[in-house]
Chains A and B, each alone.
With several copies, the nearest count.
Chain A
Amino acid sequence: MNAAPTLAAAPFDAAELAALRADFPILSRTTRSGRPLVYLDSGATSQKPLAVLDAERRFYTEHNAAVHRGAHQLAEEATDAFEAARAAVGAFVGAPAHEVVFTKNATESLNLVAHAFSTSTAYAQRGSAPQGQRVDPRFVLAEGDEVLVTEAEHHANLVPWQELCARTGAVLRWVGVTDDGLLDADALDGLVTERTRVVAFAHASNVLGAVADVARFVAAARRVGAVTVLDACQSVPHLGVDLPALGVDLAAFSGHKALGPSGVGVLWGRAELLEAMPPFLTGGSMIELVRMERSTYAPAPQKFEAGVPMAAQAVGLHAAVDYLRALAPGGRGMERVEAHERALTALLLERLAELPWVRVVGPAAAADRVGLVSFVLEGVHAHDVGQLLDDEGVAVRVGHHCAWPLHRRLGAAATTRVSFGPYNQPSDVDAVLRGLHRAHELFA
């Protein structure tokens, strides 16, 4: 869409929205009940605009070759496209290209970081680091060293740390969640000790919608020299985010939640830290010198990108961030996306507040949230809610949303989550409400 909005921080108006929605063909399909699709599961994965699909196809039909591996013209073109994607995706989150590592998804990004600790630890214990590679003490864990997460984490930012502890003898600690469904940030200072080596937390919770007080986490971690790892999966697609400015050391997000293709994720890290980390996946294209006995590795980001990469998907993600930026003049599209999704969130929260049989989890005010709302219908199982919404054509997510410990803490086996993308419209909220009323009538 090419409409030039006038107010950078206003929601999209009806005309803008119609133009934008036309870029997403899937939004005009109907569902098995004959009703038009109302897609409200962008927190799981977003839909993709035609610009993204076209960019991928153009790559395949004009430039496809293995990147970083050939001297022929196609290989050069493919490599240029891949590296241009790195620069654009970096710029989208305020980072230089050489601090951007392409992975298959945010989960791989977070595992990569967790393994940097166990691999460094093994190198240090065995003296087995590649020749000339200093083992950085920040990544070496001693028995009883601590990894701090929160009780609200997505499994992707929890299980890799549990497994790191199982490999090394480190101990997992966590910031709890209060009865109100908020992070118990006051407990943070007591939990960060001299033994804390990693502080890993979500920028925005994929269940609560709450945006974390990043500065507070960073300050606590800095005090003891712990590495900070930000799970930015639910912030980067929905807010304007400048990762380096946040003060964290490393951050992960996925392309498929930010209008990009499936199969591509990002790890951002401060250059100095990426250099200090050992590789994770090893193989072709990430080496400096290979002998049968042992090998040495290329500088970051190549060091972390073993094998033929997801080039077409990186190119698709490039088109996605270009698309998002272009939603407002001066490349400030994310400001409008944020404003738009926040307006929808406020509308939904307002409507839900009128229903005494609905319990919303997380912050009461839209201003404290990214564009998603999870809730419980009293006396109705979330999967039945989801099914009735599905029957209205409304696609939402039900379950524990890969945050099982949080749901246990909230005393809810499952919640229903509505999550917005830039293409959602006020009438989508009406559709949700219709479905909720039906579920309430049928079951409660």
Chain B
Amino acid sequence: MDLYQQLIIEHSKRPHGSGLREPFGAQVHHVNPTCGDEVTLRVDVADDGTVRDVSYDAEGCSISRASASVLHDLVVGRPLEQVQRTREAMHGMLTSRGEDAGDEDVLGDGVALAGVSRYPARVKCALLSWSALADAVLRVRPC
């Protein structure tokens, strides 16, 4: 089964950067309508556009928790432009129905989530924190 890679299990058991922290520029709350699971997510962006912190409280399955953990790793300390590209790469991989295995240089541990794209019912799990992030960034930096 290509869904529960060891990396996913590890991230889900010990998620990186979990918990809500201050300061933050925006906080959003997103719900996965198919299961009712939710994430509260905060971003703190420096004036130069660098993401200083992403903190979150994720209630959900292992996939959603692992994805939030991976998100934290990939986003903190990066400029918003790069975050945007990462998010697109993640989205592309997750919605590819098995076509896109993901680029490890861009997605790091995130490539362990590639298998999710073969399970349509779970794609929203992995996307949950990423859509919350997009929404939060939009509130900090409307464009």
Do A and B touch each other in the complex, judged by CB within 8 A? yes
Chain A contacts to B: CB under 8 angstroms: 33, 70-71, 75-76, 79-80, 288-289, 298, 381-384, 387-388, 391, 399-400, 404, 413-414, 442-443
Known contacts A381-B62, A384-B61, A387-B3; A76 and B119 CB within 8 A of each other: yes
Interface residues of B in 12-54 (CB under 8 A from A): 12-13, 31, 33-37
Q: Are A399 and B62 in contact (CB under 8 A)?
A: no
Q: Are A400 and B61 in contact (CB under 8 A)?
A: no
**B125 interfacial by beta-carbon distance below 8 Å:** yes
Q: Are A79 and B61 in contact (CB under 8 A)?
A: no
Q: Are A288 and B120 in contact (CB under 8 A)?
A: no
Interface residues of B in 110-143 (CB under 8 A from A): 119-122, 125
- Complex CA distance for A181 and B119, rounded to whole angstroms: 32
- Complex CA distance for A70 and B122, rounded to whole angstroms: 11
Q: Are A414 and B62 in contact (CB under 8 A)?
A: no
**B7 interfacial by beta-carbon distance below 8 Å:** no
Q: Are A70 and B121 in contact (CB under 8 A)?
A: yes
- Complex CA distance for A225 and B121, rounded to whole angstroms: 41
Chain B contacts to A: CB under 8 angstroms: 1, 3-4, 9, 12-13, 31, 33-37, 59-63, 119-122, 125
Contacts of A383 in B (CB 8 A): 35, 61, 63, 122, 125
Apart from the given pairs A71-B121, A399-B36, 18 other A-B contacts in the complex at a CB distance below 8 Å: A80-B120, A288-B33, A289-B31, A381-B60, A381-B61, A382-B61, A383-B122, A387-B119, A388-B1, A388-B4, A391-B1, A399-B35, A400-B36, A404-B36, A413-B36, A413-B37, A442-B4, A443-B9
When C-beta atoms are compared, the residue in chain B nearest to A414 turns out to be B35
Select which of B34, B59, B62 is within 8 A of A443 by beta carbon.
B62
Contacts of A442 in B (CB 8 A): 4, 9
Contacts of B121 in A (CB 8 A): 70-71, 75-76, 79
- Complex CA distance for A384 and B66, rounded to whole angstroms: 12
- Least CB distance from B41 to A in Å reads 18
Contacts of A79 in B (CB 8 A): 120-121
When C-beta atoms are compared, the residue in chain A nearest to B32 turns out to be A383
Contacts of A382 in B (CB 8 A): 61
Contacts of A399 in B (CB 8 A): 34-36
Q: Are B122 and A387 in contact (CB under 8 A)?
A: yes
- Complex CA distance for A125 and B59, rounded to whole angstroms: 38
Smallest CB-CB A-B distances: 4 pairs: A381-B61, A383-B61, A71-B121, A391-B1
Contacts of B12 in A (CB 8 A): 443
Most central of A33, A298, A384, A442 by chain B CB within 10 Å: A384
- Complex CA distance for A75 and B120, rounded to whole angstroms: 10
Contacts of A33 in B (CB 8 A): 1
When C-beta atoms are compared, the residue in chain B nearest to A399 turns out to be B35
When C-beta atoms are compared, the residue in chain A nearest to B34 turns out to be A399
Contacts of B4 in A (CB 8 A): 384, 387-388, 442
- Complex CA distance for A420 and B129, rounded to whole angstroms: 36
Q: Are B122 and A413 in contact (CB under 8 A)?
A: no
Contacts of B3 in A (CB 8 A): 387, 391
Select which of A71, A289, A384, A404 is within 8 A of B62 by beta carbon.
A384
Contacts of B13 in A (CB 8 A): 443
List, sorted by A's number, 23 A–B pairs whose CB atoms are closer than 8 Å.
A71-B119, A75-B121, A79-B121, A80-B120, A288-B31, A288-B33, A381-B60, A381-B61, A382-B61, A383-B61, A383-B63, A383-B122, A383-B125, A384-B4, A387-B4, A387-B122, A388-B1, A388-B4, A400-B35, A413-B35, A413-B37, A442-B9, A443-B13
Q: Are A76 and B31 in contact (CB under 8 A)?
A: no
Contacts of A413 in B (CB 8 A): 35-37, 59
- Least CB distance from B46 to A in Å reads 34
When C-beta atoms are compared, the residue in chain A nearest to B125 turns out to be A383
- Least CB distance from B15 to A in Å reads 13
- Complex CA distance for A388 and B122, rounded to whole angstroms: 13
- Complex CA distance for A70 and B121, rounded to whole angstroms: 8
Contacts of B60 in A (CB 8 A): 381
Contacts of B1 in A (CB 8 A): 33, 388, 391
- Least CB distance from A281 to B in Å reads 19
- Least CB distance from A353 to B in Å reads 26
- Complex CA distance for A404 and B35, rounded to whole angstroms: 10
- Least CB distance from B143 to A in Å reads 25
Contacts of A75 in B (CB 8 A): 121
Q: Are A298 and B36 in contact (CB under 8 A)?
A: no
Most central of B31, B35, B121 by chain A CB within 10 Å: B121
